[in-house]
Amino acid sequence: MLFNSYIFILAFLPVTLTGYFLLNRYGKTSASKLWLCGMSLVFYGYFNIKYLPVIIFSILLNFFFSRFLISSEKENLRKAVLCFSVFLNVGVLFFFKYLDFFIENVNAVFKAELPLLKIALPLGISFFTFQQLSFIIDSYKRKVPRYAFLDYALFVSFFPQLIAGPIVLHSEMLPQFADKNNKRLNAENFSKGLFAFSLGLAKKVLIADALSGAVDAGYIETDFFLNTTNGLIIMLAYTLQIYFDFSGYCDMSIGLGYMFNIKLPINFNSPYRALDMSDFWRRWHITLTRFFTEYLYIPLGGNRKGKKRTYLNIFIVMLVSGIWHGANHTFFLWGALHGLSLVITRMLKEKLRKIPKAVTWLFTFSFVNVTWIIFRSSSVREALFIIHRLVMMKFSAPDIKLAEKIIGSDLTFVFGGLPAVEYVAAFSLIAFALFASVKMKNTSERLETFKPSKMNAAATVILLTLSIISLSGVSAFLYFDF
């Protein structure tokens, strides 16, 4: 089920909210948790009910591992169980996400003909697997209290963060579910949540989905990239599409959390304002960066074993981050390039401070743009072809088809055959999206000073209305594939 769908907005969400707060109102706390957990599983199973047993089995097994790691006093056995549980979680993720990719590479290298299993990827498996891995590791470190099974199941399955994050920690979620003050409907939190949800929905539907037409056309028909002008437009369109798609999801997720009086961690903080790549990764997918820092970078030694080892650890973390995003050589290359950029940023830290901020911003933004080409391409060969065409610098007038893809219609008929109208409409959207991503307040900043008011109510209604009207072209979030 998608946040940006009629069934979610008009049916699932109202029913889930009503049931949750009614049960809490009449003192049925356990029943309200069971209701919310059950509805979250319905939300998950709506995509493909065949994969509902995957998440249920994962929750049951990891809860058992956690209980054992908390209660057992036999250190050697605890270490063995920890290693087995980590291996099992990563193994399940590998089976669904990477096995066919592994077989393809074996066939290519050894000239073999092993059959592909063509396994469909269960939605959100990368996210709920990492979330439970953090819980298991913290259980081994004895940082986890003895939570009841229902509390743990709700922690994993809570639908606002189930499919594409944020990757939350038990310490920031479970105390909120236990807080009695969060059991009753809070008008201010609800209005704040609805405001954030409307902003996120507008980002997704009115901006990201509009830009997706030109992006898809460009990557399906790479002849568009024979013209450097078209290539730059498509490159920038994808840079903005993935920004507003992911930012929109994060806003909706935070908004839904507020409706249930749950404050989810910030996962997105205007990354296109970044002045270097370290700054970028402190702003983009913040909870994923936190996970890799806590559970991979620090165990590898962090910055405690000298500069060379620090640089190697940074590179390894970003390479793993690239692999986490998908089973394709493009993600390996994307992760490796970002790893190298972080190493270089760290090496030149003092020198970069002396460079004007406008220059470092432009260099960082340009690097992000180019690496997004690799991220979006279906193969490394396609990515190199596109980048090669861009650097050829063969400029000419942009293709009118790209403008039509962005605005979703042919305005030349309405305006008496004036193609300039389409260009203006399309490029105005790109210009606004770029300005908004860099200069305008993000949703988290707006929520810090948010107060229920007539102006905020009007903005919420207008954004929701425009977005719902535009839902005929609903598309899944980009991060659902990761």
**Is the backbone peptide bond immediately before 160 cis, with ω within 30 degrees of 0?**
no
pLDDT of 419 reads: 52
pLDDT tens per residue across span 209-254:
889 888 988 888 878 777 888 889 899 999 999 999 999 999 999 9
pLDDT tens per residue across span 43-62:
999 988 988 999 999 999 99
pLDDT tens per residue across span 404-427:
777 664 443 333 344 566 677 788
pLDDT of 418 reads: 45
Of 298 and 481, the one with more pLDDT: 298
Residues recognised as catalytic: 325
Residue 253's closest CA among 207, 200, 208?
Answer: 200
Across 16-29, average pLDDT: 93
The CA R_g of the chain, rounded to the nearest whole Å, is 23
Q: What's the pLDDT band for 296 if we cut at 50, 70, 90?
A: very high
190, pLDDT greater than 80: yes
Q: Which residues contact 270 (CB under 8 A, 6 or more apart)?
A: 283, 437, 438, 442
Residue 277: Cβ-neighbour burial (10 angstroms; 0-12, 13-18, 19+): buried
pLDDT of 30 reads: 92
Domains of the chain by residue range:
6-184, 190-481
pLDDT tens per residue across span 281-295:
999 999 999 999 999
Q: What's the pLDDT band for 118 if we cut at 50, 70, 90?
A: confident
- Would you say 287 and 279 are in contact if contact means Cβ atoms under 8 Å apart? no
85, pLDDT greater than 60: yes
What integer best gives the mean pLDDT of the chain?
90
Chain centroid, CA 86 distance in Å: 23
